[in-house]
Amino acid sequence: MKKIGILFGQERSFPEAFVKKVNEIAGKDIQAEFVSIDKIFQAESLDYAVIIDRISQDVPFYRAALKNAAITGTAVINNPFWWSADEKFFNNALAVKLGIPVPKTALIPSKERPDDTSEQSFSNLAFPLNWSAIFEYTGFPAYMKPFDGGGWKEVYKLHDQEDFFHKHSQTKQTVMMLQEEIIFEEYFRCYCIGGKYVRIMQYEPRNPSHLRYVVDNPPSSEKLLKTIHDYVIKLNQYLGYDFNTVEFAVRDGIPYAIDFCNPAPDAEVTSVGQENFDWVVETAAKYAIERAKAHKKGQDNLTWGEYIKTSAAGKALVPAPVKTPAAKAKPIVKTVAKPKSSSPVKSKKA
């Protein structure tokens, strides 16, 4: 019997529906349940083929326990090692390298020094920073947010540089990023499961939370949806996330990836709506069963993204386009008329 576990916090509707769905469709050799932990010993298994992680971002004990489970062979969704290393500013840099549009974004040091540091700890940081270049790059209005945050915590809308300095002074030791505002005509939030299953949802972030998935107008074009779909797949395959959401703000027909580091995305029925909830429950259940069936004891069963795999293999992040060799040009032969001559000298060929 292979076991699929789900580790979660305050949410209830998704974990309960997920376990029920897996047990409905998995068959007799696979069973789902809520993860139960009563002890963690180094390099000892929790006896799960697959664990869906919904809470370790808030509980460091769980993150350490999941890394221990992963090293014993559990397929943890999402990969706890990559999740620990990843952050939003890196995500934006990766998207730029992949050719996916993102808002112009600058990294901003914390207002206050971290504990146990002094002025000498920042010998390589210029004082003051080149604020004029930074503000020219992002422009105003702009948004300031933690470089590794989530859940709309500590997000500020800024109207000018005075507004920036006033609000930055309140951020204490949090490293921030300053990001261009994208004034959008359309907005989409997209589930991606397994790096291959995508659900594109119209979304209105300016609505109250319970109405954000209620949008009256249809998407502007099928071409736009296809582009968004391809961007979602590419981002998640390079990041290596099995369960994530990606948000796009569409300006002048161009979808800008706004937020795509959500490895424990909202899946509560009261916020995402019944249709989206049903899709994410069924798709997550089917994917977890796929991973349980593919699970192999005694080896790493994690998902590693293309960024890590290309780095480890010493390959380019994005393969250079293959140049088609140019066909050899045929020599141009000009025929030169023989000159008329009264002399007996023979004419030469051109």
Confidence check: pLDDT of 333 > 80? no
Tokens of 260: 């795509």
What is the percent of the chain with per-residue pLDDT over 70, rounded to a whole number? 91
Average pLDDT over residues 228-236: 98
Instruction: State the amino acid at position 336 in one-letter form.
Output: V
Strand partners, 177: 107, 145
Domains of the chain by start residue, with CATH: 104-180 (3.30.1490)
Is 195 in contact with 189 (CB distance < 8 Å)?
A: no
Confidence check: pLDDT of 336 > 60? no
Pick from 191, 150, 216, 219: nearest CA to 277: 191
Average pLDDT over residues 111-133: 95
> What is the pLDDT, as a whole number, of residue 150?
72
Q: Cα dihedral sign for 49, 55, 56, 61?
A: negative
Instruction: State the amino acid at position 131 in one-letter form.
Output: W
Average pLDDT over residues 294-306: 96
> What is the pLDDT, as a whole number, of residue 328?
52
Torsion angles phi and psi, residue 18, rounded to 5: -65, -50
Average pLDDT over residues 300-312: 97
Confidence check: pLDDT of 346 > 80? no
Whole-angstrom Cα distance, residue 241 to residue 229?
Answer: 15
Residue 158, class by beta-carbon neighbours within 10 Å (0-12 exposed, 13-18 middle, 19+ buried)? buried
Whole-angstrom Cα distance, residue 14 to residue 278?
Answer: 9
Average pLDDT over residues 211-232: 95
Does the model's pTM come out above 0.75?
Answer: yes
> What is the pLDDT, as a whole number, of residue 326?
53
Confidence check: pLDDT of 338 > 50? no
> What is the pLDDT, as a whole number, of residue 319?
82
Average pLDDT over residues 241-261: 97
Average pLDDT over residues 185-208: 96
Confidence check: pLDDT of 330 > 90? no
Average pLDDT over residues 226-254: 98
Pick from 127, 39, 71: nearest CA to 302: 71
Residue 101, class by beta-carbon neighbours within 10 Å (0-12 exposed, 13-18 middle, 19+ buried)? middle
Whole-angstrom Cα distance, residue 224 to residue 234?
Answer: 15
Q: How many CB atoms are closer than 10 A to CB 62?
A: 22
> What is the pLDDT, as a whole number, of residue 321?
73
Instruction: State the amino acid at position 293 in one-letter form.
Output: K
Give residue 153's pLDDT band: very low, low, confident or very high (50, 70, 90): confident
Is 186 in contact with 202 (CB distance < 8 Å)?
A: yes
> What is the pLDDT, as a whole number, of residue 289?
98
Q: Quick one: the chain helix, strand, coil %, rounded to 5?
A: 35, 20, 50
Whole-angstrom Cα distance, residue 40 to residue 68?
Answer: 8
The count of residues in the chain is: 350
Pick from 190, 324, 302: nearest CA to 246: 190
Residue bearing the bigger pLDDT, 25 or 347:
25
Give residue 4's pLDDT band: very low, low, confident or very high (50, 70, 90): very high
Torsion angles phi and psi, residue 269, rounded to 5: -60, -35
Confidence check: pLDDT of 143 > 80? yes
Tokens of 229: 């779909």
Give residue 320's pLDDT band: very low, low, confident or very high (50, 70, 90): confident
Pick from 265, 250, 191, 232: nearest CA to 95: 232
Task: Tell me the pLDDT of the chain averaged across its residues.
Answer: 91
Give residue 228's pLDDT band: very low, low, confident or very high (50, 70, 90): very high
